[in-house]
């Protein structure tokens, strides 16, 4: 791939001694050769947890389970009438599948349960998310839930705040579930460029 190669003389000017010029030009060549460092994805924004046994489990590690879920949802989309009525409706949605989220190193005590309802009339999947253990955030800050693919946040499901140890929020996700393999929740603090993942499937 051709990359625009910066002009070394333009970069450093003509004021250097020959020795210093040679030294810097060697670094210049190495920079050109190395190319740019990659940006870290959100899932790697924070260091792993203290215990090596409880490192942040990225969503893709559960890809198999999520693909199975995707297949199940696709099946239900075809035979939705079969499922409807067999599941409880006390939550306000006809839950046909539930999965768990767990806290990451950023919020180790947090957890959540996602109830996935049937496809609604507007073509989205309703979600009921019960969250435990996430701290209340200052005014202007919030949590955001994303669908992920290979650990990358792809599609936002919605933002929310919490009040107290347990909160319930209603979100939706797009109909094309097969594009995704997990969920994450990030913490978005006012004035901070960090987006730590606090919950993951």
Partner 1 sequence: MRRVSASEATDAELILRTGDGDRGAFEALYRRYARPVFGLALRRLGDRGRAEDAVQETFASVWRGAHSYRPDRGPGGPWIYAVARNAIVDRARARSEAPVEAPDQESHDTGPAERAEASWTSWRIHRALEELPDNERKVIELAYWSGLSQSEVAGYLGIPLGTVKTRTRAALARLADQLEEELDGPGTT
Determine the interface stretch with partner 1 among 49-57, 82-90, 139-147, 167-175 (rule: CB under 8 A).
49-57
User: Contact with partner 1 (CB under 8 A): which of 18, 38, 85, 88?
Assistant: 38
Is 3 a binder of partner 1 (CB under 8 A)? yes
* Residue 71 binding partner 1, by CB under 8 A: no
Single out the residue of 56, 41, 163, 46 nearest to residue 101, CA to CA.
56
Of these, 19, 40, 86, 138, which contacts partner 1 (CB under 8 A)?
Answer: 40
* Residue in 17, 18, 50, 187 binding partner 1, rule: CB under 8 A: 50
Look at residue 1 and give its three-state secondary structure.
Answer: coil
List, in sequence order, every beta strand (DSSP E) within the chain: 97-103, 111-116, 125-132, 142-149, 152-160, 166-173, 182-188, 197-200
Q: Least distance from C-beta 198 to partner 1, angstroms?
A: 17
163 binds partner 1 (CB under 8 A): no
Nearer to partner 1, 74 or 194 (CB): 194
Smallest gap from residue 26 Cβ to partner 1 (A): 7
Contact 180, 73 (CB under 8 A): no
Which residue in the block uniquely carries the two structure tokens 């890809």? 63
User: Is 70 a binder of partner 1 (CB under 8 A)?
Assistant: no
Q: Are 117 and 128 in contact (CB under 8 A)?
A: yes
**Residues 6-35 contacting partner 1, CB under 8 A:** 6, 10-13, 16, 20, 23-24, 26-28, 30-35
Instruction: Please list every residue from 101 through 160 that binds partner 1, using CB under 8 A.
Output: 150-152
CA 38 from chain centre, in angstroms, equals: 18
* 64 lies in the site for partner 1, by CB under 8 A: no
Question: Can you spell out the DSSP letters for 161-200?
Answer: ---SSEEEEEEEE-S-GGG--EEEEEEE-TT-----EEEE
Asked if 4 touches partner 1 (CB under 8 A), the answer is yes
β-pairing verdict for 166-173 and 125-132: antiparallel
Whether residue 177 contacts residue 125, with contact meaning beta carbons closer than 8 Å, is answered with: yes
Chain residues that interact with partner 1, rule: CB under 8 A: 1, 3-4, 6, 10-13, 16, 20, 23-24, 26-28, 30-41, 43-44, 47-48, 50, 52, 55-56, 58, 60-61, 150-152
């Amino acid at each position: 791939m051709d990359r625009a190669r910066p002009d070394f003389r333009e970069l450093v000017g003509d004021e250097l001694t020959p020795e210093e010029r040679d030294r810097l030009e060697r670094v210049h060549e190495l920079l050109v050769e190395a190319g740019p460092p990659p940006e870290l994805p959100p899932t790697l924004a924070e260091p792993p947890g203290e215990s090596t046994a409880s490192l942040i489990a990225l969503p893709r590690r559960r890809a198999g389970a999520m693909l199975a879920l995707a297949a199940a949802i696709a099946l239900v989309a075809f035979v939705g009438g079969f499922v409807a009525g067999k599941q409880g409706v006390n939550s306000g949605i006809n839950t046909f599948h539930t999965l768990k989220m767990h806290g990451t190193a950023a919020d180790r005590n947090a957890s959540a349960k996602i109830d996935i309802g049937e496809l609604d009339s507007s073509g989205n999947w309703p979600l009921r998310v019960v969250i435990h253990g996430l701290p209340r955030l200052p005014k202007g800050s919030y949590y955001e839930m994303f669908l992920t693919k290979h650990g990358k946040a792809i599609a936002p499901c919605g933002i929310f705040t919490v009040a107290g140890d347990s909160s319930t929020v209603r979100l939706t996700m797009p109909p094309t579930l097969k594009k995704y393999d997990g969920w994450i929740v990030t913490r978005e603090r006012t004035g901070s460029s960090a987006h730590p993942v606090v919950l993951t499937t």
